[in-house]
Amino acid sequence: MKNQICTILGGGGFIGRYLVRNLTKKNYRCIISTRNAFQKGYLKTQATPGSIELINWSSNNFDELKESIKNSDVVINLIGILYETRKQKFMNIHAGIPEAVAKICAQSDVKKFIQVSAIGASENSKSLYQRSKFQGEVNALTNFKNTVIIRPSVVCGTEDNFTNLFSKLSILPIIPVVKMNYKFQPILVSDVADTIVKAIEAKDNHGKIYEIGGPQVISFGDMVKSIMRTLNKKRFVVEMPMPLAKTQSVLMSMLPIPPMLTIDQCKILSEADNIVSNNHLTLEDLNVKPSDVEEAMKKWLWRYRDGGQFAKVQ
């Protein structure tokens, strides 16, 4: 049987490397569009020769990407940014790209377009990040009827920007956390990859939205304390007042890469918790059983312990 072709936008990123592995196991041929494709050669080691093709792509040039989409059975958009820069803006990345891709899909024989968004995406959010994510969903669904939206909570894994950030901050005696009671539902990156594959395989889910989270709802403060326990480090985890956090974020925004919270992220933390709302389909509808993130993170956070993997955990 002819192998199906899947074009993945942003396939060289955090979620992409896990997704590619899952798809090639299912005998998909993957075309991965990414910036600096020459740096993503490691992806080709995940499958037999010829199963993975890398193409250089930027949001200013859709010509080569258009050709790969037209030859694809499935298209997946993983592209996203956590903060804006001079060249990359939320609306251009999160709303403009899904719209352009959906229009190309509509002109082709693409069977399904998977748009990865985020829990909390809303047109009424104070956060431009969340509004742009919502607009991307609308643009994708409006321009291509065979679109499926996947909204994950905070995604965790070996290369994540969450558990690793607070592990690095463990060098401090006091760990500041903005809004310690803010709740989210961390999900393992491999479970997100499984969900995407299951959503591709599922029938009659065109136009549907899946909200996905891990098995446990946990507060921001408790998650940071759990990370410290995993590192076997006793640290004071204290709440940073929101006004102070906003002031800090203004100062940090002047740096090329903000090391902690941005102003927009402070707005997200001031809104509803980042958990599955039960207003949409969930992991249960795809028969995906999520893993325990707190248990799983022990496998990658040991490197931050004093003594590494051989450290005695109390």
Return d(Cα 17, Cα 12) in angstroms, integer: 6
Burial class for 90, CB neighbours closer than 10 Å (0-12, 13-18, 19+): buried
Q: What is the pLDDT of residue 100?
A: 95
The CATH architecture of the domain made up of 5-155+186-213+274-290 is 3-Layer(aba) Sandwich (3.40)
In the chain, % of residues over pLDDT 90? 75
pLDDT of residue 1: 46
β-pairing verdict for 74-77 and 155-156: unpaired
Element (H, E) at 70: helix 63-70
Virtual torsion, Cα 283, 289, 294, 299, nearest 10 deg:
-120
Q: Global pTM?
A: 0.94
Instruction: Compute how many other C-beta atoms are within 10 angstroms of the C-beta atom of residue 209.
Output: 18
What are the boundaries of each domain within the chain?
Answer: 5-155+186-213+274-290
Strand locations in the chain, DSSP E? 5-9, 29-34, 52-56, 74-77, 112-116, 147-152, 155-156, 174-178, 183-184, 187-188, 209-212, 218-219, 236-240
What integer pLDDT is reported at residue 171 of this predicted model?
A: 93
> Tens digit of pLDDT for each residue in 266-298?
999 999 999 999 899 999 999 999 999 999 999
Q: State whether residue 172 is helix, strand or coil.
A: coil
Token pair, residue 242, equals 């929101």
Where is 267: in which H helix or E strand?
helix 263-269
Provide the pLDDT for residue 258.
65
pLDDT at 289: 97
**What is the predicted pLDDT for the residue at 159?**
95
Given a cut of 50, the residues of the chain with pLDDT beneath it are 1
E-strand stretches of 49-146:
52-56, 74-77, 112-116
- Across the chain, what does the average pLDDT equal? 91
Nearest to 167 by CA among 90, 232, 123: 232
